């Protein structure tokens, strides 16, 4: 019997899924729309469909699945396999994800936060390979983070450890969904960058971006900043520099607390590359403890959007191995 492992990265707009061999070689992958607005049962149905299609493509049957890992945005109960709340998935409150998948595929199902499965991927197969102290920052629509300390992924009491996006940067700042204001993620994220540009334009600054959207500021996208930056647009350069500097302030604090060897920056906004990272490094260098700073590199993520599916598979395999160990200790009950 040839077993395989399924990794699913559930996003607000896309389900990314892949099937791997026991050696974690990619066998097949595909993407499918999440259709989040149609509610949790519909989305779970789409996930089941995607898994069925993957199996079909590699000519395997449901019995060949060793385990299934899923990365899900939002608050989770990992042990019970529940989604408690997800800002990007309407209606995902106390949804028993693991049970829904297990009802069709009789294999162990493990869920974790979407950013943490990215971390597992980058740690095992990407930029973090071989490191034992890592901070991963993903700058997408929002700002997410995951942390590895001494070779262990950090979870904390309620699995909320590493919420760097909610680091309080300003006593009075942009309100945040978490209830606080001035959180780092309200500034350093695709949404944050766009808000900064809008604020500056509304305050009378000018930018080439404004002509690209024909003055309809709602059409501004974070990706436009890199293009404008390269055109020599002063506002775009300023906004990316400011965001990089602010992220650097946050990361200097993180560096002083955790003393990591590597900070990996991924997510869509990280495609700005050195346009953003140069300011991040300058800012970190001037604010962190010199010894910690000298020992730490700040690099871009390597796996891109594939980090989530491979990470979900890595995580599931780890948890599955843990289950076996535990069962052996408890007398070998399967």
CA distances, 294 to each of 164, 259, 298 (Å): 21, 10, 11
List the interface residues with Zn ion, window 174-213 (CB under 5 A).
176, 178, 180, 183
Alpha helices, H only, 16-110: 40-58, 97-102
CB of 148 to Zn ion, least distance (A): 23
CB of 153 to Zn ion, least distance (A): 22
List the interface residues with Zn ion, window 149-168 (CB under 5 A).
166
What x-and-dash track marks residues 12-51 binding Zn ion by CB under 5 A?
----------------------------------------
Classify each residue of 266-293 as buried b or exposed e, where b means 16 or more C-beta atoms within 10 Å of its C-beta: bbbbbebeebbbebbbebbeebbeeebb
CB of 257 to Zn ion, least distance (A): 18
* Pick 90 or 182: Cβ nearer Zn ion: 182
Q: How many CB atoms lie within 10 A of CB 231?
A: 13
* Pick 147 or 183: Cβ nearer Zn ion: 183
* Non-local CB neighbours of 295 within 8 Å, separated by 6+ positions: 259, 261
Beta strands in 203-300 (DSSP E): 262-266, 297-300
Measured on CA atoms in the order 167, 127, 260, 243, is the torsion positive or negative?
A: negative
Binders of Zn ion: how many residues, by CB under 5 A?
A: 5
Q: Is 145 in the site for Zn ion (CB under 5 A)?
A: no
CB of 142 to Zn ion, least distance (A): 9
* Pick 142 or 311: Cβ nearer Zn ion: 142
* Pick 110 or 187: Cβ nearer Zn ion: 187
Distance, in Å, from the CA atom of 283 to the CA atom of 321, rounded to the nearest integer, reads: 42
CB of 183 to Zn ion, least distance (A): 3
91: tokens are 């209606």
Measured on CA atoms in the order 9, 11, 16, 17, is the torsion positive or negative?
A: positive
* Pick 103 or 178: Cβ nearer Zn ion: 178
CB of 176 to Zn ion, least distance (A): 3
* Pick 160 or 297: Cβ nearer Zn ion: 160
Using an 8 Å Cβ cutoff, are 126 and 302 in contact? yes
CB of 82 to Zn ion, least distance (A): 23
* Pick 126 or 192: Cβ nearer Zn ion: 192
Measured on CA atoms in the order 258, 259, 264, 270, is the torsion positive or negative?
A: positive
Which residues would be at the binding site for Zn ion (CB under 5 A)?
166, 176, 178, 180, 183
């Amino acid at each position: 019997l040839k077993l395989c492992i399924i990794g699913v990265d559930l996003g607000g707009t896309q389900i990314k899924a892949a099937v791997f061999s026991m050696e974690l070689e990619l066998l097949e992958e595909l993407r499918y729309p999440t259709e989040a607005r149609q509610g949790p049962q519909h989305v779970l149905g789409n996930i089941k469909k995607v898994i069925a299609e993957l199996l079909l493509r590699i000519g395997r049957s449901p019995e060949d699945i060793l385990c299934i890992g899923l990365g899900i945005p939002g608050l989770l109960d990992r042990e019970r396999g529940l989604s408690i709340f997800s800002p990007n998935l309407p209606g995902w409150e106390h949804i028993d994800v693991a049970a829904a998948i297990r009802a069709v595929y009789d294999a162990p199902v493990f869920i974790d936060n979407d950013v943490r499965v990215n971390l597992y991927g980058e740690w095992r197969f990407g930029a973090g390979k071989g490191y034992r102290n890592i901070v991963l920052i993903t700058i997408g629509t929002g700002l997410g983070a995951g942390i590895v300390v001494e070779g262990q992924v950090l979870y904390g009491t309620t699995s909320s450890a590493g919420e760097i996006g909610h680091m309080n940067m300003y006593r009075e700042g942009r309100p945040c969904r978490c209830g606080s204001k001035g959180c780092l993620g309200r500034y350093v994220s695709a949404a944050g960058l766009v808000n900064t540009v809008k604020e500056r334009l509304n305050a009378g600054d000018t930018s080439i971006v404004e002509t690209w959207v024909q003055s309809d500021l709602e059409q501004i996208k974070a990706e436009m900043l890199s293009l404008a930056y390269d055109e020599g647009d002063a506002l775009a350069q300023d906004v990316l520099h400011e965001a990089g500097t602010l992220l650097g302030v946050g990361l200097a604090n993180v560096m002083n607390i955790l003393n990591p060897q590597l900070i990996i920056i991924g997510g869509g906004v990280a495609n700005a590359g050195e346009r953003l990272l140069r300011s991040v490094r300058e800012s970190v260098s001037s604010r962190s403890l010199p010894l910690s700073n000298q020992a730490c590199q700040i690099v871009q993520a390597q796996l891109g959007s594939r980090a989530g599916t491979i990470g979900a598979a890595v995580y599931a395999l780890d948890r599955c191995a843990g289950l076996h160990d535990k069962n052996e200790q408890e007398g070998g009950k399967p």
